[in-house]
Structure 1
Amino acid sequence: MISKAFLESLYLFYRFMLKRLRNSYTTYGRTHKCPPPDKLSTQTIVCDMEGALLRNSSTFPYFMLVALEAGGFSRGLLLLSLYPLISCLSRELALRLMVLVCFLGVRKESFRVGRAVLPKFFLEDVGLEGFEVLRRGGRRVCVSSMPTAMVEGFLKEYLNVEVVLGRELKVFGGYYTGLMKESEVKAGLALEELLAGGRVTEDGIVGFGGYSSSLHQQLFTCCKEVYLVSEVEKRRWQQLPISSYPKPLVFHDGRIAFRPTPMSTLCMLLWLPLGFPLAVVRALVFICLPYALSVPLLASLGMRNRYVTSSTAHPKADGGSHGSRQLYISNHRTLLDPLCIAAVLRRNVTATTYSVSPINEWISPIRTIRLTRNREEDRRRMKKLLEEGDLVVCPEGTTCREPYLLRFSPLFAEVSQEVVPVALETSVTMFYGTSTSKFKYLDPLYFLMNPSPCYEVEFMGKVATGSIGGKECSSYEIANHLQGQIGRLLGFECTNLTRKDKYLMLAGNEGIVEGDINRR
């Protein structure tokens, strides 16, 4: 029999723990008792990502992104069909089911969604108020119920979080099994790391989470103070502005251009049977019809085009004489950039390319010439092409989706005495028309599958390549000058990043396909 003394001791221990719990948990936001910044700078912040950093605690859109980008439309359809069941299950069971559907059979080495796709969507969902609390911490620790493979790249690279505690996935034969390891083991190891060497004591750890999702986190039990925020309060948070990003989001990958909530994903899947044939028809119009017919016909098919030019940069509708061959340089948004410039000019041009799929080259209605990345050889080819007709060059060497310009190669300034800069901007609502995947030949098709894709083309005045404002300059200086001119016109920020930087970050390679090597 259990002794009376034991029961009394158990009761007293229960009351002690309950009192400690009540004294340690404070509401952040409602009582405004969050420690001042000077105090937080000497403490470790343990932040619950879903509960206190993101404005929306639902993880379904992020798992849908994994399903669509890593598994395709069929896996996304499966996850969407299970959504009614997922919404009825407990948080833990729903999480395990989504992990199983999204990760089963996905190769671990090739999984780059967490680093290349999800950071953009996470950043767009971060609340300014929650970010300010996390930013003030001397050391930053983030806990998440999502797998580490989904959140670690975002938290460490974009929010400067030092320790990330997510759920670990089981792997067999190099493939994810869709099963998760127990989180208690990882939480215990992280706690040992925080307290190791006496660098951080229990009195120096402050927790920050949400009412609905943070109380089960083990690490919060070691915090002296825990500040909680409700879902109602988070809805009033401001979105983290782009100017406040700790690290600029210049590159991201993936096909999906919207936040895939259940309703928006359903709309996308219903659109696909109509969007695919519509994209094929748009492509055939581009390829088969003259520009005088294709441009208005494409407008009637939902493709919006906007052409802007100054009186000094008005492109001639005819081909001109042999001596009037023009070199156009533009920023690079999609593979259709040269086609849109040709459509505005109402005549064919020649486009230089890097690592374009042979399929795209074969079906292109304009002439494309692949450069070799050998400076002398490329200069010779471009000069010869310019003698034969108008030439379009994208000095960035690769596409960039965000409002940034990559570094301009100065080679174009060594080919012609004058150039016409062209500023391009695109707008999509459903699919991105660029990627770093092995299915790059589908990029134009995805762009044309948008319900109403938009292209804006703006011609600038002719610019001499040997001088700036009457002062002689080098090819590098004119390249930087024109990058700045196009950037200011578009409202884009100029960077020193290159094609190599983009592919190393998003695809883990230098962006050179096998065909490029064989052509050298």
Structure 2
Amino acid sequence: MNSKSLLKSLYLIYKFSIRRLRTSYASYGRTQKHPPPEKLSGQTIVCDMEGGLLRTSSTFPYFMLVALEAGGLLRGLLLLILCPLISCLGHEVGLRVMVMVCFLGLRKDKFRVGRAVLPKFFLEEVGLEGFEVVRRGGRRVCVSSMPTVMVEGFLQGYLDVEVVLGRELKVFGGYYTGLMVKEEEERRRRRRVRRRQAWLWRSCWEMRRWGKAGLLDSEAMPLVFASSVSSPTTVRSEVYSVSEAEKRRWHPLPSSKYPKPLVFHDGRIAFRPTPVAALCMFVWLPLGFLLASARALGFILLPYDLSIPLLALLGMRNRVVTSSPPPRKEEEEGRSSRLYITNHRTLLDPLVIAAALRRNVTATTYSISRISEWISPIRTVRLTRNREEDKRRMKQLLEEGELVVCPEGTTCREPYLLRFSPLFTEVSREVTPVASETSVTMFYGTSTNKLKFLDPLFFLMNPFPCYEVEFMGRVPTGSIAGEVCSSYQMANHLQGEIGRLLGFHCTSLTRKDKYLMLAGTAGVVEADDKGR
């Protein structure tokens, strides 16, 4: 046999093998570009999270968030330094390197980034088109190359996904080792645990094999894998794909279409830390720390007539709106006290109100660090959460001068108002509501961790932090529009008025709800942590 005949025989064998491979997969399902809505209704939808739900397939920003929020700045800096190397490695090797850097040595029972931090960034990156396709299905399953602990809280908590198939991490002594379980081991373990739903896991793994077998276009990603079950052992499926070029034209999912409102989230980082954005943050940190120190010293040491122009010069923007002009000191001769209530955005709320009034006020607090109390330029008084004792203290403080109270009891970053405690209506015959709003670009000035005394510093480290306060007219606490009301009705009424002015949504959630969701505690600082 000459060389020409040999080459021809090899080509025929290769062509026959490829045809058999495609035929075997075609008997299982077929690929299409656009899924018909009527075919997806009531079907089981298996979606690739990075390829078919998010507008970009890059996972680096989410690992950077894990490194910064769970591991600290040094771990985040190491991940940023390794970024060029990770981009040169293959997807699987690069993924394992990021997992090793981000998770090595973290305690499993203390890891809360997946449920407290990442959902906000995932929701902001969800594509409207991919979301609408996934929501049409009856049962929803999501596959991700990221560890399950990173994506499960978002997919099940906010998108109502029934099953999450991510990568599992190895644990030793309660700490993550930074190693991932191999896919073959995952598959065997899941089959043992969920033997009754073997058809569902078969669908998930077949979708991965579909992409690896090269049956999709070179730039296409599996969008959904719609399955229908005719018997416990028979699965009929269709694969729908989307290219990266098409995903770049997707629209972000508007907050009004979130299946579950994003009311609470935690973490210091206020931006999506892509490699370039993370590099800019690390370059800014030294200058930001010096700038925040200068702003803080101006707040603490200088009188308001000097500190306010200095803060404006240092880039902090403040805006005061008065529906009813706040009285000056000389106008208050016949009145020794006034109660201000405000929604709670950061620990600086009472300071900004004092600066707007150009005089010191007293602020009530609950469970803040001793350091924050020591450096505060205004007087702070702790409440006890004992209703009668707190009422007595607030009445005494009102007799001594002006008082600022935050009825929510804790801060909220998103445009929502937590339930107002009605206690303030029982200590004064009239109150002055104040609506507060903040905006940041790099760091959030609130947290639920033990280092809460750093909250004001992080807020002031933003390049151009902004505070807006609006003083509303005085309101009698005993009646609404001339009709007698209870303390609870008045608290709800003022919550609604502040929410209407700010454009915020009112909720019945409380401080306890926030801390149980984000930190797994009741929000009380332990005795040995109060001095931190």
Could you say whether these structures have the same fold, taking a TM-score greater than 0.5 normalized by the shorter chain as the test?
yes
Q: Is the 8 A contact 2:222 2:239 kept in 1?
A: no
Distance 1:394 1:502 in 2: 16
Q: Deviation digits for residues 25-66 of structure 1, max 9, x if unmatched?
A: 4233xxx3x1324x3232110100000000010000000000
Unaligned runs of 5+ in 1: 1-7
* Corresponding residue of 2:6: none
- 1:354 Cα offset (Å): 1.0
SS at match of 1:224: strand
Q: Is the 8 A contact 2:207 2:222 kept in 1?
A: no
Structure 1 residues 12-21 or 82-91, which shifts more?
12-21
Unaligned runs of 5+ in 2: 1-11, 228-233
* Corresponding residue of 2:237: 224
* Alignment partner of 2:505 out of 455, 471, 493: 493
Asked if 1:279 corresponds to 2:283, the answer is no
* Corresponding residue of 1:395: 407
Equivalent residue runs for 1:441-460 within 5 Å:
441-460=453-472
* Corresponding residue of 2:36: 35
Distance 1:363 1:136 in 2: 54
Q: Deviation digits for residues 297-355 of structure 1, max 9, x if unmatched?
A: 10001100011112x34342558236341100000000000000000000000000011
Q: Is the 8 A contact 2:326 2:357 kept in 1?
A: no
* Corresponding residue of 1:53: 53
Equivalent residue runs for 1:104-253 within 5 Å:
104-187=104-187, 196=196, 224-253=237-266
* Corresponding residue of 2:438: 426
* Corresponding residue of 1:88: 88
SS at match of 2:294: helix
Structure 1 residues 223-232 or 251-260, which shifts more?
223-232
Q: Deviation digits for residues 483-520 of structure 1, max 9, x if unmatched?
A: 000001000000000000000000000001124999xx
Q: Is the 8 A contact 2:226 2:238 kept in 1?
A: no
Distance 1:426 1:396 in 2: 16
SS at match of 2:142: strand
* Corresponding residue of 2:449: 437
TM-score (normalised: structure 2): 0.89
- 1:239 Cα offset (Å): 0.4
SS at match of 1:369: strand
Which amino acid letter does the alignment assign opposite residue 23 of structure 2? K
Q: Is the 8 A contact 1:43 1:204 kept in 2?
A: no
* Corresponding residue of 2:4: none
* Alignment partner of 2:22 out of 18, 22, 28: 18
- The number of residues matched between the two structures is 507
Which amino acid letter does the alignment assign opposite residue 18 of structure 1? R
Distance 1:216 1:121 in 2: 20
Distance 2:68 2:169 in 1: 19
Q: Structure 1 residues 45, 318: CA separation in 2 closer, same or farther (over 3 Å shift)?
A: farther
Q: Structure 1 residues 19, 218: CA separation in 2 closer, same or farther (over 3 Å shift)?
A: same
- 1:130 Cα offset (Å): 0.6
RMSD across aligned positions (CA):
3.0
* Corresponding residue of 1:337: 349
* Corresponding residue of 2:77: 77
Q: Deviation digits for residues 363-399 of structure 1, max 9, x if unmatched?
A: 1000000000000000000000000000000000000
SS at match of 1:119: helix
Q: Structure 1 residues 74, 483: CA separation in 2 closer, same or farther (over 3 Å shift)?
A: same
Asked if 1:288 corresponds to 2:292, the answer is no
Q: Structure 1 residues 471, 517: CA separation in 2 closer, same or farther (over 3 Å shift)?
A: farther
Distance 1:482 1:516 in 2: 37
Distance 1:173 1:213 in 2: 41
* Alignment partner of 1:378 out of 390, 409, 434: 390
Which amino acid letter does the alignment assign opposite residue 475 of structure 2? V
Structure 1 residues 336-345 or 132-141, which shifts more?
132-141
Distance 1:179 1:489 in 2: 50
* Corresponding residue of 2:373: 361
Structure 1 residues 430-439 or 176-185, which shifts more?
176-185
Q: Is the 8 A contact 1:207 1:223 kept in 2?
A: no
Q: Is the 8 A contact 2:450 2:529 kept in 1?
A: no
